[in-house]
Amino acid sequence: MSFTLVLGGARSGKSAFAQGAAEARAAETGGRLVMVATAQAFDSEMAERIDRHRADRGPAWTTVEAPADLAPALDGLGAGDVVVVDCLTLWLSNLMLADRDLATAAAELVESTARFPGALWLVSNEVGFGIVPDNARARRFRDEAGRLHQALAQAADAVTLVVAGLTLRLK
């Protein structure tokens, strides 16, 4: 049982890092590879992106879609599962757009990582390195993402930052 938080900017290589680590773990343990996807296809470009990601992963991966109810999705997976959740910032956006209680959802996610019986990588965009956004919704998103990352980093066994395809282990 292990939990790794993977942070990085857009197109930093964080998803490739998490998927590669999960594939290596599954090869060692014989565990089932599971991608928990949080994206929703609200337009054709996003639908194409989702299809491309699914094709790139290949048939070895089982996909579970959890755009909002992430903790219950994790609770439904088993001890031998090797799981990548991609990505938390899309999940957070989905919750904000649905006007969900973010603090409760974040607490439930942290709790589900503590009881998760397999190997788990949570992927998220680090959005705190940029300028202060010019509107209240974007500032709230940045703040909520920062709080979520801090809580998950405390709970994680390992935290990795990915920049330009290079990894830096923070914890």
Give burial (CB, 10 Å; 0-12/13-18/19+) of 149.
buried
- Report the C-alpha gap between 46 and 67 in whole angstroms: 14
3 state DSSP class of 102: helix
- Report the C-alpha gap between 40 and 66 in whole angstroms: 9
CA 77 to chain centre: 15
- The question of whether 149 is a catalytic residue gets the answer no
Diameter over CA atoms, the chain? 48
Please say whether the beta carbons of 104 and 138 come within 8 A: no
pLDDT reported for residue 43: 87
3 state DSSP class of 84: strand
Catalytic residue chosen out of the listed positions 53, 54, 100, 142: 53
pLDDT reported for residue 103: 96
pLDDT reported for residue 6: 98
DSSP 65: E
CA distance to 36, 83, 148, per residue, from 40 (Å): 12, 19, 20
pLDDT reported for residue 143: 96
> How many other C-beta atoms can be found within 10 angstroms of the C-beta atom of residue 56?
11
pLDDT reported for residue 50: 81
pTM of structure:
0.94
Q: Residue 126 corresponds to which amino acid?
A: E
Sequential pLDDT tens for the chain (171 residues): 799 999 999 999 999 999 999 999 999 999 999 999 998 888 888 889 888 888 888 899 999 999 999 999 999 999 999 999 999 999 999 999 999 999 999 999 999 999 999 999 999 999 999 889 999 999 999 999 999 999 999 999 999 999 999 999 999
pLDDT reported for residue 66: 96
pLDDT reported for residue 58: 85
